[in-house]
Each structure stands twice: as structure tokens, then as C-alpha cells.
Structure 1
Amino acid sequence: MKIKESFAGAEACHHGGRIRSMATSLEIRQEELLDYSANINPLGHPPLDDLIAREMKRIGHYPDNDYIEFREACAKFVGVGAKNVVPGNGSSELMRLFAEAIVEPGDEVVITEPTFGEYAAQSRLFGAEIVPVQRGIDGPIDPKDFLPDPLLDRAKAVFICNPNNPTGILLPRSMIADLAKRCERAETFLFVDEAFIELSDPSETVADMAPGMEHLFVARSLTKSFGVPGMRLGFGVAGDRLAEVMNRTRLPWSISSLASAAGAHLLSRGDHLVRSRKVIKEELAWLTGELLRLGLDPVESSVNFILVGVARTGLPSWQLVERMEKEKVLVRDCRSFGLGEGYVRVAVREREENERFVSALEKVLGWRG
């Protein structure tokens, strides 16, 4: 079979949120599992039952492939024009579309690590040569220190996640804005993944800069911020030309009419995000304190998940994950992020769930107090 070499050699990317398959494997009901492997808004989503019931009456018709209502809601949400919005079936589709539009065989694509594996996976599908650049796991480091101008001059594209997954580090707007301007001068495309910024500090976004630039693409995810991972919905913001090309070439009808209507509604619920950030801030502080009490090494985070060093437990990450599974709790093994066997990532949820998580961790670690 004459399959494209880059596709034939593709490897699956590892993700959290495997709650359905794990429930089957453990032979228990899905509701019995506590999922700390996926980073979803701990308050879930605002009510959608009435909206979905209403939209079901229109299910016999194709969605509007221009997604006018959804794009206008996205544009209002981030303060740009609707023509600068690219809708997507989750931010993963936007990564694929960006790579497909930008990358040609042999192009160098810079990935700042450790980070989300799909950036490299999607770029490789179109023949990119991946250039990994270490950004570290301790605190906000200015991109000037790990993304110098000569590297930008050489690269076709750069991917950076802000706040970063899995470290939870949020770089200030000033640093990302400076990087965007340097990429613009170098004529290098910059993909900024802001999937978690609404659960951290949305004032640090650079989405509003994108319409005035030719090489900046900013991705946002409703999946994480509004707690609808089963709905698959996101959007990107870009300059006129890049947005026009991506809107013209994206798969038709990739977003269902249910999802696009729900998205427009959710984006009007800024109050839900305000409450969510308050809960996350409180629970992040509480859970970090508990992890320290148990002798673990949590990395200071600004969002709804924590990268946790587990070396002092004497357990490799995969073994800790397996023992937590037996307690019906899922956590994310961070070996797939290139962090060896010394780290796991855990979500930040509401207090009752966090207490259950800590109790399970105490049991697994044999902690006596």
C-alpha cells in the first residue's frame, strides 16, 4: 500500500481522560471512577438540557457550515472580528488544520517541551522535522532565553502552550506578545495554545493581537473551560489571510449543529468562568498543601492541574498510576511528556472530590500521619 510515509509512520499520542476504557478494564461502572487524569473545569458546564432538546428538533438539517452564530459569539468573547475566527471540532482539529496549511516536508517546526504531544504528532504527519526546545518546569522563563532569534529565523512554525500543559506555568502576555512580534519579523508562524487560559488568567491572552498579524494563530478550547469534553468544540483566531485560508480548507460540517449552538450559549456565560476561577484558586492552594504534606513535590501551577514530582515516594510514576487505579482514581503518567518516571499530573477539582483523591493517595503511599 502506497501510504504517505509520514502517515504510515505515525504513532498514537497519549492522553488522559480514559475513563470509559478504564471502567471497562476494571469491570466497574464509569461513575465509580474519579478522573484526575483530565483537566476539565471542576464546576462542569452550565445547564444545556433545554438548548439540546430545542436543537434536536433541527437535527434533520445540515449545520450552517459558516457557523455564523458561533463565530460571532467567539469574536465577541475575545474582542475580535468574526472573519478572524476559525471554528474547530476541539483544539486538536485546529492543530491538524494549522499544520496541514503551514507545514511542508522538511520544514523545521519548533516544539517547546515538556508540552502537549499533539503539536509534534500533527506536524510530523505533514513531513515536519521536529526541533524540541526545553523550556523547563520551574516558573515563567522568558521565551527569549529558549527561543532565540536565530532559531526563529530557521523555523517554519513554533508551538507554545500558555498556560503550559503539563507544568501549569502561565507566561505573562508581555512575553508571548514579544515572541509573536519576533516571529512576525522572522516570517515564522506561531501557534499559541490558550486552551486553559480561561481557567487561569484570561487577561494574559494574546488572542486580540492575532487579527493584526500575519503569522500568529491563537487556539482556544471550550472543552476545558466550560467542561464539555464530550462535545468537542474550540476556535482559533488569526489574521485575515490565514483565517480565510483555514476556513476555506477545513473539513465541511466538522462541528455538529448541537455543538455550535451550545458553544454560542456557553460563551455568553462569563459568570460561570468567574466562579470557576475562584474555586480553582482556592482548591489549587489546598491540594498543593496536601501534596506537600504527603512528601510529594508539586510544581507551582496557575491553573486547574498540578505537575507532581513523585521520586521521593520510591515509586515510579507508572506504578503509582496503577496503584491509584486500584483505588478507582485515575491520574496522568507523565512519561509521555518526556519527563521520565518521576512525575504524574493531577487535576484540581472541588473539595469533596479532592478529599477523596487525597485519601486514596494516602492509602497508596501507606501514609500514617
Structure 2
Amino acid sequence: MSWPSHGSNPQYLYKAMGLALPKEFIDFSANINPLGPPTALKEKWVDFFREIHVYPDPFATKLTDMISNVEQIKSDSILIGNGGAELITLLGRMLARKRVLIVEPTFSEYEEVCRANQCEIVYHQLAEPDFTLNLTDLRSNLEDVDAMFLCNPNNPTGIHYPPSTIISMVEECEKRGCLVILDEAFFDFLIEYESFVPYINRFSNLIIIRSLTKMFAIPGIRLGYLVAQPAIVSELSKQQSHWSTNTIALLAGELCLQNKGFIKETQEFIGCERKRLFAFFHQNNYIASSSHVNFYLLQDPLLQDQFTLFEFLVHQGIIPRHTFNFPGLEGRWLRFAIKGYEENNRLMEVLTQWRHQHSS
């Protein structure tokens, strides 16, 4: 079966399974803020429309300066992109034919762009169910590696690695002349987050990717940014197409960055729902990854393979993210986003039905 390589767009999943897309379904496969976009975006939408006849700023100066002020770094250390996907693609081009380490399980796009650029790929597999990142174990895989991709908080597990571990890893890689590409697409879902951005002034090998589409629920707009030392930013920007980021995306980004109250509201809601869901999983003999963000891995330990549970959920209009294309998981887990209160209730209702049918 040819499985979709990403979450969202459920019509492709149903097509792969030979099923018709139901009229009513809940898509748990995309890790987007369940609160939706900030209200301020809707209020400003007509104003945004008035700007579409103007070419976007190719240097994204205003948004770059805003990020510079928020993060307290120089603007030449920032590169705005058409979503995290474009930034990952640019990095793949920069790493063409080099040796790249990917810490698995993780976002499949790192491998895709590396393969497209003829990189030699090596893997470091984290062991389930804890998925612990240990520098001692990692060190043996760093031999002759030019760059390493690490997602933190991790997609698909939702696990946040300790800052001390990350810093030790960056230090070790610096000694070896190895770049560390730290994908922080979900960093703003963490309530107590310790920023690694200040470390780019200390480490010339550190590159940080961030997304604005997850927290602010704007994946249809596409917006993200990269932080690194100016030499790296300059090299990447030369490979970027002109007017890569459109006018509406830039305006939306400027507005979203001013909306700190929305971030706090989201963190509190996600925290409450995650606690409620995980209590249910524990009571009903399901295993969940130790997530700190807005998604998690789930497993019925009574099954060797989660496909029958996956199939049951899909027939019920509950759409999780399969893990067949996450190396090291191979379908043994399902990934779910944390949705709204009623949607999470529906998930628990369907999982209760499953448990009653498969309790031994």
C-alpha cells in the first residue's frame, strides 16, 4: 500500500485504503493548534487583501526585525522562509553529497531532502517506549558526519530533550566540525522553554529552524524562519528563490508575533487536555509517549501491530497519523494531535468502544 507521507489531507489516506472519505470525520493527523488562528488575523484579513497587488519584500525586513527584537539577535542571523519545508529544502541543497546523521524517529522530510541531494545518510535510532537521547550512545554515530538533524520537541513522539543534553551534543559536534540542525517547529507549545537561540553566537555549527504555522494554525499560508550565524544564513539565502514568502504570510507573521496572550492561552489549553487524555489512556491500558506538546504517540499494548486499531478508527471517522514511514516505528504506534474538547471526547469514546471489544 502507498501510504501518504504526511498527516492532513485525509482524502489521500482513504484513497490508499480503498475507502470513501466520510462526510463527517475528525483529523487527528495534523499537529495544528486546535484553537485555530488568532482572532486578530480574521479581523485584519481585509487589510491583508488590499496588499496583494504589491510584490512582497524580498528581504522580509519588517518581520526579520521583529524576530530580531524578540530573540535579541542580529537580523543577519535570521532567514525567513516559505514554511519550515522550504528551509529544510535549502539545507538539503547546502549539504549535497555530504554525510548526514538523522536522529530517529523523526520528521520524514529530512531524509527526503537529503536523498534528493545525494547525501550519505546514517541513522541514530532512539529506543521505544522512552525514546531517550543519550550523548554516549550517539557519539559512535558521529564519525565523519558533516551534519545532524534533530527535532526538539520531537516529531512524532512529542518528547522534549533536556537543554543540557542538547548543549553537550552541540559541543561534541563542534569538535568534529559537524553542523547541528535543530528543528524547533513546536517549541512554543512548551510552557517552560529554554531558548537555544542565544547559543548561535557561541556555536558556529548550530542552526535552528522554527515554524509559525503550527502554533498560529496557518499551514495554508506557509511561514517559518531559520536562525544561524550570518555566514550560514548568507549561504542559504543565495539558494532561495526571489519573493519566496508572500505578502500575506509576512503580514500574518508580523501580527502573530505580537500575540503572546494567544500562545499562553494555547499552552494552558493543551496542557489541560493532554492531562485529561493521558489519564484516560492510563485507565484504559493504552501506552502514550511522554509528550510535552500538542501531539503524542499512542499504542494498544495488546496488539503486535497497530493496523487493526488504525483501521477501526478510520472507519469511525477518527483519523490518526500512521507511522509506517517513521524509521524505528514501522506502524507500531499511531500519532494523534490534541484537538478541541469535544473532538478529544469523541476520540476517547471510540477508544473505549475498541477496548470493550478487545480487552483480552
Report the TM-score, using the length of structure 1 for normalisation: 0.89
Which structure 1 residue ranges, 5 or more long, are not aligned?
A: 1-10
What aligned pairs does 1:53-132 form with structure 2 within 5 A after superposition?
Answer: 53-101=46-94, 103-105=95-97, 107-132=98-123
Partner of residue 7, structure 1: none
Aligned to 1:282, the other structure's residue is in SS state helix
Q: Post-superposition shift, 1:289? A: 1.4
Give the Cα–Cα distance (whole angstroms) in 2 for the partners of residues 172 and 179 of structure 1: 11
The one-letter code matched in structure 2 to 1:62 is Y
Q: Post-superposition shift, 1:12? A: 9.1
Change (3 A) 1:27 1:182: closer
| Aligned residue among 246, 262, 269 for 1:272 | 262
| Aligned residue among 271, 274, 289 for 1:281 | 271
Partner of residue 149, structure 2: 159
Once the two structures are superposed, residues 151-173 of structure 1 have per-residue CA deviations (whole angstroms, 9 ceiling, x without a partner) of 43510100001011111110122
What aligned pairs does 1:203-282 form with structure 2 within 5 A after superposition?
Answer: 203-282=193-272
Change (3 A) 1:58 1:128: same
| Aligned residue among 186, 189, 192 for 1:196 | 186
Partner of residue 8, structure 1: none
Matched, 1:38 2:30: yes
Aligned to 1:236, the other structure's residue is in SS state strand
Aligned partners of 1:13 and 1:121 also within 8 Å:
no
The one-letter code matched in structure 2 to 1:35 is D
Partner of residue 26, structure 1: 20
Partner of residue 4, structure 1: none
Matched, 1:337 2:336: no
Give the Cα–Cα distance (whole angstroms) in 1 for the partners of residues 75 and 265 of structure 2: 27
Matched, 1:17 2:11: no
Give the Cα–Cα distance (whole angstroms) in 2 for the partners of residues 335 and 28 of structure 1: 23
Aligned to 2:110, the other structure's residue is in SS state helix
Report the TM-score, using the length of structure 2 for normalisation: 0.91
Give the Cα–Cα distance (whole angstroms) in 1 for the partners of residues 69 and 55 of structure 2: 25
Partner of residue 134, structure 1: 125
Once the two structures are superposed, residues 68-93 of structure 1 have per-residue CA deviations (whole angstroms, 9 ceiling, x without a partner) of 11112222333322211111111111
Aligned to 2:241, the other structure's residue is in SS state coil
Change (3 A) 1:352 1:310: same
Q: Post-superposition shift, 1:329? A: 1.3
- State the identity %: 28
Once the two structures are superposed, residues 8-43 of structure 1 have per-residue CA deviations (whole angstroms, 9 ceiling, x without a partner) of xxx9971111235468863444xx321111111122
Give the Cα–Cα distance (whole angstroms) in 1 for the partners of residues 265 and 324 of structure 2: 33
Aligned partners of 1:19 and 1:35 also within 8 Å:
yes
Aligned to 1:131, the other structure's residue is in SS state strand
Q: Post-superposition shift, 1:260? A: 0.8
Give the Cα–Cα distance (whole angstroms) in 2 for the partners of residues 27 and 16 of structure 1: 15
Partner of residue 309, structure 2: 320
The one-letter code matched in structure 2 to 1:285 is K
Which structure 2 residue ranges, 5 or more long, are not aligned?
A: none
Aligned partners of 2:37 and 2:217 also within 8 Å:
yes
Aligned partners of 2:184 and 2:210 also within 8 Å:
yes
**Which piece of structure 1 moves more, 187-196 or 345-354?**
345-354
Aligned partners of 2:4 and 2:13 also within 8 Å:
no
Give the Cα–Cα distance (whole angstroms) in 2 for the partners of residues 140 and 355 of structure 1: 28
| Aligned residue among 286, 294, 316 for 2:284 | 294
Once the two structures are superposed, residues 225-256 of structure 1 have per-residue CA deviations (whole angstroms, 9 ceiling, x without a partner) of 21111111111100010011212321211211
Once the two structures are superposed, residues 196-227 of structure 1 have per-residue CA deviations (whole angstroms, 9 ceiling, x without a partner) of 11102462331221244322110011111211
Aligned to 1:235, the other structure's residue is in SS state strand
Once the two structures are superposed, residues 106-134 of structure 1 have per-residue CA deviations (whole angstroms, 9 ceiling, x without a partner) of x2110011111111111111111110111
Size of the aligned set, in residue pairs, is 353
The one-letter code matched in structure 2 to 1:327 is Q
